[in-house]
């Protein structure tokens, strides 16, 4: 048995056979084909090149039609490579004369080209190496016949293993055929991890070499709570993990019985639980798990999972569908959080060196106003269908907020002029997810109707850790005293300014933090739908005075380790079953 440690994303334990959808593009099998196999391999290569050209052409044309010719230029580079005889002809000749398999010939040729770009002095050329590897990945998928087609053809559910996975690929997974997911790359709260967690299966990312260590059909155990992947476990380990699965299932059943109950503390304090979603169809799951509405609708996923940007009508239809599913319940839409993802970086002639500190979220929208206005018009049109409120992401200063509100008012005037009905009293809020916004929260209360504290980014920007970098994942923790102090200060400022505040980060769905958040004064939490019953269980078994006492104690501690130990021990005393069958000591060791 071999044990790999990754980053836990979605809890649960699963035992099953592996299906490796994609290995690292830098390592593929080297095969020498027989003379009778070469014609078939040449045809495979030729068809793959033609299919890649067609796909890139479609992407170029759709981007040019919606975002303009400048963002579409990157696809001209891809098409140029695919049509470059000096690159593509030698690959074909190697297959024909040396009998080398197409995958190996492609990887070697594209790797050499990427090395040439990386050795150049100009930054713009060095970064072209990433485009070369993106194109290599597309071509390799065509050669292998398509990873998603392989997954669709399996008879029994499998554990999906891959080097890297995009949000679009995850959305295409048929959930009934996926037991769990493990990847080489990724962070706990990046876009792909968020979508994967929404499948409701165990997910572990950042395993570094799982795609190389695992082969199709290998027996695996994935533990999404501890972030471990066990390869070819022995029978005693399998039996032990089966007992753990039984405990987890019993725990899920006990929390599932609370779906129809009110999330109220023992001393009568109501705590509202809402769901985080990426698509309107997920609302059914929110309601089924006992959620009171949607506290965070991540609207950018319509863009990240589509081959072309959606139109205004398509956006409106999605938002209107969400309103219909909610039947009058709360709906909070966050405007586009784009810019720090492959979707937008791939459209830039010169990708940003550090996009998380660059043109992302509200900054991206303010510089791409056609896109921003299109979404705002769709939101306003949907507001006439039923109740909703809108919030702007990653506000760092007052100028950004006021400019966004000014554009919103301008779009409102356009809708009035066009005779389009909308809610003139639309509530407008903001995400508090950077230290500057948290420190200025008292001032922002005069400009917005509500706050939503986004701890995923707040942690990243407070402790200077890239949340998508598995190498520093251990430093990314909400238990950092500075993060807790910032959250506390925002809640206090909001209370004084009479502004409703919710928290929609990952910790909202972690039972370990529930008592602390209640003790800090939060009464609205927005979380992954699957975690709503577990958080409700904690709420219904604690008193506010105990939570406030815990918050005061945590405020006196100076390290994340001491804070986490305190939170776990208190949860063990108050609601031992909230650890899902694991003792506080076991969780701490994990």
Mean pLDDT by 10 residues, the chain (590 residues): 89 90 61 90 92 85 65 76 91 92 89 82 63 79 65 79 75 76 81 74 89 90 91 93 86 84 96 94 93 96 76 95 97 89 53 75 93 97 98 97 98 97 98 98 98 96 83 88 98 97 95 97 95 94 97 96 96 83 37
What pLDDT does 584 receive? 33
Q: What is the pTM of this model?
A: 0.74
What pLDDT does 400 receive? 98
- Give the CA count within 13 Å in the CB-facing half-sphere of 454: 26
Considering the candidates 207, 365, 415, 504, report the single residue annotated as catalytic.
504
The DSSP string of 299-361 is TTHHHHTSSSPPPHHHHHHHHHHHHHHHTT-EEEEEPP--SSSHHHHTT-SS--SSGGGSS-T
What pLDDT does 151 receive? 66
Domain boundaries, the chain: 2-24+163-249, 38-143, 257-589
Query: What CATH number was assigned to the domain covering residues 2-24+163-249?
Result: 3.50.30.10
CATH 1.10.274.10, applies to 38-143: yes
User: 578, 540 in Cβ contact below 8 A?
Assistant: no
Question: What fold characterizes domain 257-589?
Answer: TIM Barrel (3.20.20)
What pLDDT does 68 receive? 57
Q: Which residue matches tokens 């390592």?
A: 27
What pLDDT does 123 receive? 55
| 566 Cβ contact list (under 8 Å, min separation 6) | 550, 553, 554, 557
504 is catalytic: yes
Considering the candidates 191, 325, 368, 524, report the single residue annotated as catalytic.
191
CB atoms within 10 A of CB 440: 18
415 is catalytic: no
């Amino acid at each position: 048995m071999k044990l790999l440690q990754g980053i836990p994303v979605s809890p649960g334990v699963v035992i099953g056979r592996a299906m490796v959808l994609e290995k690292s593009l830098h390592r593929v099998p080297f095969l020498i084909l027989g003379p009778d196999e070469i014609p078939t391999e040449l045809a495979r290569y030729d068809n793959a090149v033609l299919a890649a050209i067609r796909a890139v052409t479609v992407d170029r044309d759709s981007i040019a039609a919606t975002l303009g010719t400048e963002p579409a230029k990157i696809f001209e580079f891809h098409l140029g490579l695919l049509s470059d005889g000096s690159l593509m002809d030698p690959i074909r000749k190697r297959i024909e004369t040396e009998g080398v398999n197409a995958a190996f010939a492609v990887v070697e040729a594209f790797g050499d080209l990427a090395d040439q770009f990386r050795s150049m002095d100009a930054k713009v050329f060095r970064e072209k190496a990433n485009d070369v590897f993106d194109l290599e990945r597309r071509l390799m998928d065509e050669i292998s016949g398509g990873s998603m087609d392989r997954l669709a053809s399996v008879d029994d559910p499998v554990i999906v293993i891959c080097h890297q996975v995009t949000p679009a690929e995850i959305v295409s997974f048929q959930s009934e055929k996926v037991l769990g997911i493990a990847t080489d790359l990724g962070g706990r709260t990046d876009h792909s991890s968020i979508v994967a967690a929404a499948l409701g299966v165990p997910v572990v990312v950042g395993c570094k070499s799982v795609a190389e260590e695992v082969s199709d059909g290998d027996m695996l155990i994935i533990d999404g709570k501890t972030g471990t992947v066990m390869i070819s476990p022995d029978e005693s380990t399998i039996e032990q993990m089966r007992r753990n699965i039984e405990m987890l299932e019993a725990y899920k059943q006990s929390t599932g019985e609370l779906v129809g109950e009110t999330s109220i503390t023992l001393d009568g304090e109501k705590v509202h639980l809402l769901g985080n979603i990426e698509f309107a169809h997920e609302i059914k799951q929110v309601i089924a798990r006992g959620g009171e509405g949607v506290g965070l609708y991540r609207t950018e996923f319509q863009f990240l999972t589509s081959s072309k940007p959606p139109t205004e009508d398509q956006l409106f239809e999605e938002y209107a569908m969400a309103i219909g599913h909610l039947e009058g319940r709360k709906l909070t839409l966050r405007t586009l959080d784009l810019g720090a993802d492959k979707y937008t970086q791939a459209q830039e002639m010169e990708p940003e060196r550090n996009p998380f500190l660059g043109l992302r979220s509200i900054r991206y929208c303010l510089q791409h106003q056609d896109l921003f206005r299109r979404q705002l018009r769709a939101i306003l049109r949907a507001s006439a269908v039923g109740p909703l409120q809108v919030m702007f992401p990653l506000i760092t200063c007052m100028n950004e907020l006021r400019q966004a509100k000014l554009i919103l008012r301008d779009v409102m005037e356009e809708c009035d002029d066009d005779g389009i009905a909308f809610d003139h009293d639309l509530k407008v809020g903001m995400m508090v997810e950077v230290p500057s916004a948290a420190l200025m929260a008292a001032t922002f209360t005069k400009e917005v109707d509500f706050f939503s504290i986004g701890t995923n980014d707040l942690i990243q920007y407070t402790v200077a850790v890239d949340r998508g970098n598995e190498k520093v994942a251990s430093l990314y923790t909400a238990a950092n005293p500075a993060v807790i102090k910032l959250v506390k200060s925002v809640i206090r400022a909001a209370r004084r300014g009479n502004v409703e505040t919710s928290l929609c980060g990952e910790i909202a769905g972690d039972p370990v933090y529930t008592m602390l958040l209640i003790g800090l004064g939060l009464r609205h939490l927005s979380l992954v739908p699957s975690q709503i019953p577990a958080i409700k269980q904690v709420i219904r078994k604690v008193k506010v005075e105990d939570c406030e006492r815990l918050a005061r104690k945590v405020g006196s501690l100076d390290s994340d380790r001491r804070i986490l130990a305190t939170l776990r021990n208190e949860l063990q005393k108050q609601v031992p079953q909230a650890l899902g069958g694991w003792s506080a000591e076991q969780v701490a060791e994990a």
